[in-house]
């Protein structure tokens, strides 16, 4: 049985004071639920969030990490540092990092390998852009991203992976994939995982959809059989909206 998992991706939004306000509102709204919940925030606020959410079931995630242990890598943050803070999850390969920061399948693969050696669970993002969808290349693109990211990853590690399917054309655009489009690709991803690792692993892998998930569309997306969760950008910045999505 896969447990639904809804994570917020705050991207480069909110400062300390806004985070404290959010946490107060969110903890007041938060009810015991069967849905796993996390917020992925900028590095500088991960320690603050861990403190604010201590004693609750709300987990904390980073939005990136570097694969080297330590060294002269100005501006980077290691997985060991995330572990030191008790961070639970780490987004890897978000399309914005691929687009603006030169993230490649090769660096994503190294990051996943490093994360799997430790205690932080990776959320691997894949997804095609608009041009690729218009050319009907979405399956090829996502398959290549998966193969590149998962190269040399063991079945045991793959089973604990979270994969977020985020079509780039639906991110921050208000243009959600239809539940059928989202399900179709999440099923494709599960089949690709099965081809690589077998049925037992494919059954365990949690697959999220991301791209303009809102309270209004969360339940129809979450009702799809291959969609186990959501990665929520804009709507996770508001405590009430994010709670309504968790309550789908």
**With respect to ligand PGA, which residue has the nearer C-beta, 78 or 145?**
145
- When binding is defined by CB under 6 A, the residue of 4, 9, 30, 209 that contacts ligand PGA is 9
Shortest Cβ 84–ligand PGA spacing (Å): 25
Q: According to the binding rule CB under 6 A, does residue 38 interact with ligand PGA?
A: no
Shortest Cβ 232–ligand PGA spacing (Å): 5
- When binding is defined by CB under 6 A, the residue of 23, 142, 171, 202 that contacts ligand PGA is 171
Closest CA relative to residue 119, chosen from 160, 70, 163, 69: 160
β-bridge partners, 231: 7, 210
x/- site string to ligand PGA, residues 213 to 242, per CB under 6 A? x-----------------xxxxx-------
The secondary structure of the chain, three-state, reads: CCCCEEEEECCCCCCHHHHHHHHHHHHHHCCCCCCEEEEECCHHHHHHHHHHCCCCCCEEEECCCECCCCCCCCCCCEHHHHHHHCCCEEEECCHHHHHHCCCCHHHHHHHHHHHHCCCCEEEEEECCCHHHHHCCCHHHHHHHHHHHHHCCCCHHHHHCCEEEECCHHHCCCCCCCCHHHHHHHHHHHHHHHHHHHCHHHHHHCEEEEECCCCHHHHHHHHCCCCCCEEEECHHHHCHHHHHHHHCC
166 in catalytic set: yes
Shortest Cβ 54–ligand PGA spacing (Å): 25
- When binding is defined by CB under 6 A, the residue of 93, 210, 215, 229 that contacts ligand PGA is 210
**With respect to ligand PGA, which residue has the nearer C-beta, 193 or 213?**
213
Shortest Cβ 190–ligand PGA spacing (Å): 20
Instruction: Spot the catalytic one: 69, 94, 134, 136.
Output: 94
Window contacting ligand PGA (CB under 6 A); options: 28-36, 137-145, 193-201, 208-216: 208-216
Shortest Cβ 127–ligand PGA spacing (Å): 9
Instruction: Spot the catalytic one: 96, 103, 128, 166.
Output: 166
94 in catalytic set: yes
Q: Counting beta carbons within 10 angstroms of the beta carbon of residue 59, is it exposed (0 to 12), middle (13 to 18) or buried (19 or more)? A: buried
Residues belonging to the active site: 94, 166
| Contact positions vs ligand PGA (CB under 6 A) | 9, 166, 171-172, 210-213, 231-235
């Amino acid at each position: 049985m896969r447990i639904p998992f809804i994570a917020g991706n705050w991207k480069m939004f909110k400062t300390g004071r806004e985070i404290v306000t959010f946490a107060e509102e969110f903890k007041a709204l938060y009810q015991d639920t069967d849905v796993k919940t996390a917020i992925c925030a900028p590095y500088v606020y991960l320690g603050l969030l861990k403190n604010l959410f201590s004693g609750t079931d709300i987990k904390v995630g980073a939005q990136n990490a570097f694969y080297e242990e330590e060294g002269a890598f100005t501006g980077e943050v290691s997985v060991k540092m995330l572990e030191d803070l008790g961070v639970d999850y780490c987004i890897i390969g978000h399309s914005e990092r691929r687009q603006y920061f030169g993230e490649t399948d090769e660096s994503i693969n190294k990051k996943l390998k490093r994360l799997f050696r430790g205690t932080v669970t990776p959320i691997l993002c894949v997804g095609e852009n608009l041009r690729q969808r218009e050319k009907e290349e979405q399956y090829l693109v996502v398959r290549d991203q998966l193969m590149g990211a998962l190269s040399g990853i063991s079945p045991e590690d793959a089973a604990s992976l979270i994969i977020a399917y985020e079509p780039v054309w639906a991110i921050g655009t208000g243009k959600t994939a239809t539940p059928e489009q989202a399900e179709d690709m999440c099923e494709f991803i599960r089949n690709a995982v099965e081809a690589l690792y077998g049925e037992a692993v494919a059954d365990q892998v949690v697959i999220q959809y991301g791209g303009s998930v809102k309270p209004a569309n969360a339940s129809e997306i979450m009702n799809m059989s291959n969609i186990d969760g959501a990665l929520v950008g804009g709507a996770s910045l508001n405590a009430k909206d994010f709670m309504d999505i968790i309550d789908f």
